[in-house]
Structure formats: C-alpha cells, structure tokens
Amino acid sequence: MPSDLPLRPVTFSPSIPEIRFIEQTLLPEVYKEESATTVERLALAIKRLEIRGAPALGVAGAYGIALAALTSPSTEYTRFINDIENAATTLRATRPTAVNLFYGINRALSAVKKHNDIDTAKTAAIREAEEVADEDTRTCHAIGEHGLTVVPHTCTILTHCNAGALACREWGTALGVIRSAVKNGCIVKVYACETRPLLQGARLTAWELARDGIDVTVITDSMAAPLMRKGKIDLVIVGADRITSDAVFNKIGTYMHAVCAKAHSIPFYVAAPFSTFDEDAVESDITVEMRSRDEVASFGGKITVPDEVAVYNPAFDATPAELVSGIITEHGIFKLPEDLIKIKIIRTNTKGTMS
C-alpha cells in the first residue's frame, strides 16, 4: 500500500459497484484489502470487526445503502425501495449499539426516498453516502487543526486504544491531532499503550502511525505511569465513545491514565467529534458494556486464566470531567462543565449532521 495516500479503511467504487475495506482483524500481521459487492458481505465485515470504529461504521452504513441501490435488480420503484429497506435492516442488525452506523444508514436511505424514479434515487444514494464520508473527513481534519494549539513544537504524546484513521474515514480524532501536528512541522514522538484486552493500540495505532512515518513506541498500559514520572510524557490525547455532561466514556484504561496524568501535572486531552456528546445525560445514566471473559482469559487459543476463576471485563471506563484538560472537537476546544451551554448551542445549530 502506498503510504503517501491518506489511509482510508473503507472506500466505495460506484462504477463496479463495490465497497473495499482493510480487514482490521488481520493487522498488524497481514495487510489485506477485502471487497464487499453485496450488502450481506458488508454486514459480515461489520459483525466480524473487519471494519470497526464508530465514524468508520457510519461511512460503511451509508456506502451499504448506496451499494444496495446500485445492485437492486428491481425495475419497479416500490420493489426497489423494498430492496433498500431490507438492506438497511440487515446492516442495522450487525452491531446494535453503534449509533453512527444507524446515522449513516438513515442519511443515505432518506436521500433515496426523496426521489420518485430509480435512476435519480441511485445517484442520490451515491452522493449522500459520499457526503457522509466527506463530512467525517472534514470533521477529523478540523479536530486536528483545533488540536494544534495544545501540541508543543517538540513533544512526546501518550495515547490509548485506536482513535485513528482506521476508526474513521481518514485522519482520525486523537491520531488526527497528532497527524495535523506532524504535518504542521511539529516533532512528535508517540507512546501507544497496547490497550488490553484487545490490543487496538499495539495492533492498529502502532501500525497506522508507522505507516505514516510517525515515531511510535508500544508499551503495556502499565508502563505509562512510570514514563510520566520520568518526565517522558508531555501530554495525553485519547478518543471518546460517549461524553456526558460530567464524564468521558472511553476504552478501559483511559481513567487510569487521567489519574496518573493529573498526579504528574500532565495535560490530558480528549479528541472527539461533536456526535460523541450526549450532553443531556450524566455518567450514572450510562450502562457500560460488559464483554466476554474470553477476551481476557485466552489469547491465540492459549488459556491465560484458569477456567474456574472469574474475569471482570468492562469495555469502557468513565473519566470525570475535572480530570480532562479539554475536549478537542471540530468546533474548537471545550471544557466541562464550564462550556456545557456553548456545546448545547452548537449542537442545536448543527443538528442533522453527523458531527
């Protein structure tokens, strides 16, 4: 893969038509692009986590509807719409909690339904899907630009999990800030926490930063605090899965980094699109997804925890807002709870766009 092109985990070719994607479960051992020419294959890719990351799922969902429109054999309008509705149902059933996925599906579906003839509807589906994708690109680049103000010219940044291009259409959120800083001439060294249990930091963040020639070193999650103590970390930037008025929900391990960053007076930033805000909710409203024991208790077929021993495996943790130096978004950097009203106003003014 040529590394001077932007890394895009999901792309669409209407003329074939096919959705191409990077099979992320194989990384970093194997870089392999797969192709989905049917909605069923795309749904499988989402289920299997071959495509992952909330913004990337939004893009895939929209592309999926466009693919359904282009591959529908129906020449009668009602049947055509029925085919696309069925495709939407198939895609929605893949991952029930990914809001971006529903958003992408719904945007493309609405665009189709605005038109009464099949050919115009097909064109509208393609256009809307590309607009969903382009919107995500613009959002990530805007996050990167706004993040520049918090990145020193020469610095070492700690990150956790993968909030990168592989989780978006391109560029990334936390890694988008790092990419923008590097593009702007900053000399950035990155420590990527491996991110147990699923190792998205070791597997994906390390891979995509190395691909772009950015200096990256992988550590276990437990090595971040000693590096902070030695003065080796200048700032922390992570992504977010959901941001309530009082807390940031992100991959398990984020809270520990926030506590340690505070203890060492290191700035701790979250980079996320506005679509991540759930600002009318508070931390206690949110149920954290508990995942299977296998993720912790085995690896590559090898048992690492005795069968009779319990495992506790929450997917996310909550970092209270007071530990967060700022939330870097496409509309600027915000601090909670101080900027809650500002955030609500911007949300109202931008309703209907994914970010």
* Locus of tokens 């911007």: 346
Q: Residue 318: which H helix or E strand, with range? A: strand 316-320
303/345 with CB nearer a copy of itself: 303
Yes or no: say if 145 and 182 are a contact pair by the CB < 8 Å rule. no
Closest CA to 178 of 221, 140, 133: 140
Amino acid at 159: T
Question: Whose CA is closest to 40, among 85, 90, 115, 75?
Answer: 90
Binding positions for a copy of itself, 163-222, rule CB under 8 A: 191, 194-197, 199, 202-203, 206-207, 210, 216-222
CB of 232 to a copy of itself, least distance (A): 9
Whole-angstrom distance, CA of residue 263 vs CA of residue 269: 15
CA–CA–CA angle 112, 166, 58 (5° rounding): 20
DSSP state of 199: T
Based on CB atoms, which residue is closest to a copy of itself, 93 or 290?
Answer: 290
Rounded to whole angstroms, the Cα distance separating 160 from 204 reads 11
C-beta of 215 vs 280, nearer to a copy of itself = 215
Dist CA 155 CA 233 (whole Å): 8
Shortest Å distance, C-beta 271 to a copy of itself = 20
Burial class (CB in 10 A: 0-12, 13-18, 19+), 258: buried
Region binding a copy of itself by CB under 8 A among candidate stretches 64-72, 81-89, 298-306, 338-346: 298-306
Contacting a copy of itself (CB under 8 A), which of 306, 348, 349, 352? Answer: 306
Q: Is 307 a catalytic residue?
A: no
Angle at 213 between CA 211 and CA 215, to 5 degrees: 115
Among the candidate windows 50-58, 69-77, 149-157, 255-263, which touches a copy of itself by CB under 8 A?
255-263
Query: Does 2 participate in binding a copy of itself (rule CB under 8 A)?
Result: no
Q: For residue 204, which amino acid is it?
A: L
For residues 19 and 13, what is the distance between their CA atoms, to the nearest angstrom?
6
CB 268 within 8 A of CB 236: yes
Write the CB contacts of 300 (distance below 8 Å, at least 6 apart in sequence): none
Q: Interaction with a copy of itself in 30-89: which residues (CB under 8 A)? A: none
Q: Using the rule CB under 8 A, which residue among 282, 303, 341, 345 binds a copy of itself?
A: 303
Query: Rounded distance, CA 133 to CA 136, Å?
Result: 5
Establish if 312 lies at the interface with a copy of itself (CB under 8 A). yes
Q: How far is the CB of 254 from a copy of itself (least distance, A)?
A: 8
Catalytic entry in 136, 212, 241, 246: 241
The nearer residue to a copy of itself, 46 or 161, going by C-beta atoms, is 161
* Count of residues touching a copy of itself (by CB under 8 A): 54
Residue with Cβ nearer a copy of itself (119 or 307): 307
Verify binding: residue 317, a copy of itself, rule CB under 8 A: yes
Tell me the H-state helices in 170-229: 174-183, 200, 206-211, 224-229
**Beta carbon of residue 253, minimum distance to a copy of itself (angstroms, whole number):** 3
Question: Is residue 3 a contact point for a copy of itself (CB under 8 A)?
Answer: no
Counting contacts by CB under 8 A, is residue 223 touching a copy of itself? yes
The one among 67, 224, 243, 248 contacting a copy of itself by CB under 8 A: 224
Smallest distance from the beta carbon of 97 to a copy of itself, in angstroms? 19
Residues at the interface with a copy of itself (CB under 8 A): 28-29, 191, 194-197, 199, 202-203, 206-207, 210, 216-227, 229, 252-253, 255-256, 259-260, 262-263, 296-297, 299-314, 317-318
Catalytic residue numbers, as ranges? 241
